[in-house]
Chain A
Amino acid sequence: MKIEVRLVGEGGQGLILGGLILAEAAIRDGKNVAHTQTYGAAARGEISKSDVIISDETIYYPKVRQADILLALTQEAYDRYTRYLKEGAIIVVDEFYVKRYDKDRKVYALPLSDTAIKETGKVITVNMVSLGVISELTGVVSKESLKEAMLARIPKGTEEINLKALEAGFEMGRKAKEKG
């Protein structure tokens, strides 16, 4: 099994950290991983991309070519990266920012940033909400490993809000899955 995950949004949305946590969760699940990210002059407001390949086998080519899972937190992210998807790829978008998407694709439009604000008061936890959704929807990493990997990475004192955000993501993912 080899799954290519692409997390895309704006600099400042915590997607680089999100990718690291996803990769570390996969390591805890006993998988091989390759994580790459946009590398350039991107700062807050620029497009920011965090790619994770998760595989039972050795990973040779280290870059994501066609994603199985795409998270798009902005319209630009969606527009630019839906070109590089496998057939039947799962797409998760923030419904507040991504208004235009293909109806014939498998798109989960969810209130990611709204939920982050509602649950934790901080929009910055949108990365953890999103990881929770992805884990629940796709099973690409186990929820336990994701929780452990997150707690090992985040700054001390932020455990409570991040756990809350992650749990909210699990919940949202569960509901979305039921709805289909």
Chain B
Amino acid sequence: MEKLLSGNEAIAEGAIYAGCRFFAGYPITPSSDLAERMSFRLPQVGGRFIQMEDEIASAGAIIGASLCGIKSMTATSGPGFSLMQEHISFAAMAEVPIVIANIQRGGPSTGLPTFPSQQDMMQARWGAHGDYEAITLVPCSVEECFYLTVKAFNLSEKYRVPAFILSDEVIAHLREKVRIPEPGEIEVIDREKPRVPPEQYYPYDDSQGEVPPLAAFGSGYRYHVTGLAHDITGFPTHDPEKVGRLLKRIVDKIRNHVSEIVEYEEYMVEDADILVFSYGCTSRACKEAIQELRRDGVRVGLWRPKVIWPFPEEELKKAASGKKAVLVVEMNYKQIGYEVERILCDMRVHWMGRADGEIIPPEEIEEEVKCILTS
């Protein structure tokens, strides 16, 4: 059935659909209504909701619950996401699947609590210490909030990594019609469980593949989990060979599978002279602008990543090949713009953005495209 849902509500529904049964969180604008929805919905499906004392504890609680075999998530905004970084690093090192929704508001610091931004894009990539890979998805509609949340859980379970949903205040509180699929209609992936008896189980045994099966605490499998560099038993080691092998695997399990993970939308790209690169709520203003520009005969198209980390490098290169110029539009003072410049280093890459709390209006984008055409 078609329902009128907000972006935050759709993330909650997507989480429930994906099998999330534990939420620990600390309220923060503009994410609080996501937690509210989970507090109402989880008990209906046999799940648990807990409000923690802060965001650090929230991230810790979902790591613990996930180790017990329960798909778990939290939701926050910029300041809370900062506090969670230490545990994100731990989850990456210990390879515990967790999902965090960061509903971006204006920063830095407490910034603009009730207004949108896209200022945490690089924090999602490089926010925590150490070398690791995580996955970040950027929905641009309420319906996509649902589907990309299911995908976030699927990828997190499949690769045993933290996955982030980077929404923003506009999409969070926008209400649109969504059709919630029937159970079984879209794929739900569960982490692989050990196929060996407890006495033969090693939690970080990579002999069968890059992502070792994960046993649930309390299911009879005893093992050690630590943030220290560890060997296949899960106990600390500083043997360079073992450490190197672990860390290489932690990044390679994502880097070797980028093409399977990424997802993107191409809108009027084929015959376009100018390619607009945008994501999240900003991409909707771009589409509106592109429609107007097309009416004036300007050949312009949109390339929009739905998964932004790992970055769809090869896919973007292919789409941009032969175009006259690329324009990156984002609601910050240049974050992904630098990434696009790096990837398309032999092209004319323009950038526009603002982070004053206002979504970029289509007219400004139209003007920028016209400027590029005449320059």
Binary contact track A66-92/B, C-beta < 8 Å → 1, others 0: 000000000000000000000000000
Closest to B30 in A: A39
Closest to A63 in B: B359
* Nearest CB of chain A from residue B306's CB, rounded to whole Å: 16
Asked whether, in the complex, the Cβ of A60 is within 8 Å of the Cβ of B175, the reply is: no
Question: Cα distance A32–B143 when bound, in Å?
Answer: 12
Asked whether, in the complex, the Cβ of A39 is within 8 Å of the Cβ of B114, the reply is: yes
Question: Cα distance A62–B177 when bound, in Å?
Answer: 13
Q: A61 contacts which of B4, B176, B285 (Cβ < 8 Å)?
A: B285
Asked whether, in the complex, the Cβ of B361 is within 8 Å of the Cβ of A60, the reply is: no
Question: Cα distance A23–B173 when bound, in Å?
Answer: 14
B281 at the interface (CB under 8 A from A): yes
Asked whether, in the complex, the Cβ of B287 is within 8 Å of the Cβ of A60, the reply is: yes
Supposing A27-B2, A39-B169, A63-B359 touch, asked if A34 and B175 sit within 8 A by C-beta, the answer is yes
B284 at the interface (CB under 8 A from A): yes
Question: Cα distance A41–B170 when bound, in Å?
Answer: 16
Contacts of B50 in A (CB 8 A): none
Q: B285 contacts which of A32, A37, A40, A60 (Cβ < 8 Å)?
A: A60
A36 at the interface (CB under 8 A from B): yes
Contacts of A65 in B (CB 8 A): 361
Asked whether, in the complex, the Cβ of B4 is within 8 Å of the Cβ of A35, the reply is: yes
A136 at the interface (CB under 8 A from B): no
A95 at the interface (CB under 8 A from B): no
Contacts of A35 in B (CB 8 A): 4, 174-176
Asked whether, in the complex, the Cβ of B177 is within 8 Å of the Cβ of A33, the reply is: yes
B288 at the interface (CB under 8 A from A): yes
Asked whether, in the complex, the Cβ of A20 is within 8 Å of the Cβ of B361, the reply is: no
* Nearest CB of chain B from residue A82's CB, rounded to whole Å: 20
B291 at the interface (CB under 8 A from A): yes
Question: Among A24, A61, A63, which residue has the most Cβ atoms of chain B within 10 A?
Answer: A61
Supposing A23-B175, A33-B175 touch, asked if A62 and B170 sit within 8 A by C-beta, the answer is yes
B301 at the interface (CB under 8 A from A): no
* Nearest CB of chain A from residue B288's CB, rounded to whole Å: 4
Contacts of A59 in B (CB 8 A): 176
Closest to B175 in A: A35
Contacts of B177 in A (CB 8 A): 27, 32-33
Asked whether, in the complex, the Cβ of B173 is within 8 Å of the Cβ of A61, the reply is: no
* Nearest CB of chain B from residue A153's CB, rounded to whole Å: 9
Asked whether, in the complex, the Cβ of A36 is within 8 Å of the Cβ of B169, the reply is: no
B305 at the interface (CB under 8 A from A): no
- 9 A-B pairs with CB atoms under 8 Å apart are A20-B175, A33-B4, A33-B176, A36-B175, A60-B284, A61-B284, A61-B288, A62-B176, A63-B170
Known contacts A39-B173, A61-B288, A63-B359; 18 further A-B pairs (Cβ under 8 A) = A32-B176, A32-B177, A33-B177, A35-B174, A35-B175, A35-B176, A36-B174, A36-B175, A39-B30, A40-B114, A41-B114, A60-B284, A60-B291, A61-B284, A61-B362, A62-B170, A62-B174, A63-B170
